[in-house]
Amino acid sequence: MENQKTINKSISVKAADSAPFYNNVDFCVGTGRFGLALTKEYLDELAFVQEEIGFKHIRGHGIFTDDTAIYHEYEEDGINKVEYNYTYLDRIMDEYLKLGIRPFIELGFMPKDLASGTQTVFYWKGNTTPPKSYERWCDLVVALLSHLIDRYGESDVTTWPIEVWNEPNLPGFWEHADMKEYCKLFKETFTAIKDFNPSFKVGGPAICGVKDAEWIKGFLDFCKESGLKPDFITRHHYTIEFPEADGHYDYSTLMDEEEGFANLQSTRDIIDSYDEYKGLPIHITEFSTSYTPKGVIHDTNLNAALIARQLSRLGDMNESYSYWTFGDVFEETGVPFSLFHGGFGLVAAGCIPKPTFWTFKFFKDLKVLERGCVFKDDNAVIEKTDKGYAGVLWNESSKEGISIKLNLEDIAKDGDTDNEYTLIIKTVSPKTTNPLKLWHDLGEPATPNSEQTKLIKSAAFPQVTSDRLTASEGSISFDQTLDPETVVYFELSKSKVKSDRGYSYERTITTR
């Protein structure tokens, strides 16, 4: 970019340094409704995500909606009876476990036969009214858990977290946003599960954005008065203002990030103000930049950089944080019209990774190597590893570059003659990793053919560069430039060259 302003900064770390950083990037990821897991594209995208990143849990809506076909009422001899059908549920759960991922069970929405009303949400009409019979609702929940234990084993299934409902503070997701009725739903459900098997971990209220402090406090007041102790608290976290719609797409203005972090801290503070609930884990069961599945920001390099900062900070006050969602097979507002439609997913159709996919991959790789965080600020997280250092660097600015001089000390011990290191750098930027731009330059084909998909996917991977460096007085320094909207992963590790007899790399590359 011509005439681009560049900010210069230096980062110097020592092996004994310490910085607060809790990296639980792989605990959970979101999905559309569970019934979508019956489709091939969905499973292909999830398999790709699991191979590259590997999440432990998956959370989605609609485990009880009619497309999974679990709950049925019928009349026999003049008596209304209930039966359950687990055919689709078993197919879905079998596929999840094959891919090494387990559900974070969200209990909802209401089966049509069990619903007290007709209010629905989304293209696929998830019913959002209370049950007409709490007894039958609790029987349904316990029957589900009992079936899962019978099929997959108690020791495994009881580790699957359970969340009661989704966003009951929004009238579209819970009729009238009735807090009193939600608290009744939680109490009845929580009690039934704990009576069945107290090993299950159950939480709520899964709120999002509206009157959140009022709801957290009201929920905890109710739990205290009722003698309930949830195993965790859940909420959601999005970082945009109300979007502007244009055709099939939503365009949003970003919130101030610090206000968002302060809002999350307020939830932590409210919980900790109760002696009974102080320190209770908070799971963010949905987070992203935009809360709309038509949010164009999701497909951009800017989104990748914004999410990097979120991942560096969300662990400060939360046990986990689940990105919404892993893939673009998603139908809340209908079937997408185009490849890059602003979908929530880390992966687009054709298993094309978006830039944000690599932000998660980089933080997961950091977690695998970590031996303690030595540095964290608004542009970097750096970990000490067994063989050196590793880190994620990012630049959220759309206008200014950042030039960072990194000085990594104590990398080699005094007197250590084995002081050769390999530096690997993976870069995701608008210049290096930009499938959105290639799709645009191809003419924005709504449903690319196989050759176009292959070409777009080829532009969706990080640029990888390498170097060999030698420690001097136990330290290594190198410079790294971050263009606007860029995320970089680096890994510096001890690596001695062991050439085969007669081989010279220097002679090879200079031969004429």
Helix (H) or strand (E) run with residue 187 in it: helix 179-196
Strand partners, 479: 405
Q: Integer distance in angstroms from the first to the last C-alpha of the chain?
A: 36
Find out whether 488 and 393 touch, Cβ atoms under 8 Å: yes
Strand partners, 327: 347
Catalytic, 167? Answer yes
Task: Tell me how far apart the alpha carbons of residues 233 and 163 are, in angstroms, rounded to a whole number.
Answer: 9
Q: What angle do CA 431, 434, 436 make, to 5 degrees?
A: 140
Burial of 79 (0-12, 13-18, 19+ CB in 10 A): exposed
H-only helix segments in 421-467: 435-441, 450-458
343 closest CA partner among 53, 41, 67: 41
Strand partners, 352: 348
Task: Tell me how far apart the alpha carbons of residues 157 and 163 are, in angstroms, rounded to a whole number.
Answer: 14
How far is C-alpha 310 from the geometric centre of its chain's CA atoms? 11
User: What are the distances in angstroms from CA 447 to CA 87, 301, 363, 401, 438?
Assistant: 32, 22, 31, 35, 14
Q: Are strands 420-428 and 463-470 parallel, antiparallel or unpaired?
A: antiparallel
Q: Please identify which of the residues 45, 106, 163, 167 carries the catalytic annotation.
A: 167
Three-class SS state of 18: coil
DSSP 299: G
362 closest CA partner among 417, 299, 429: 429
Which residues are identified as catalytic?
A: 167
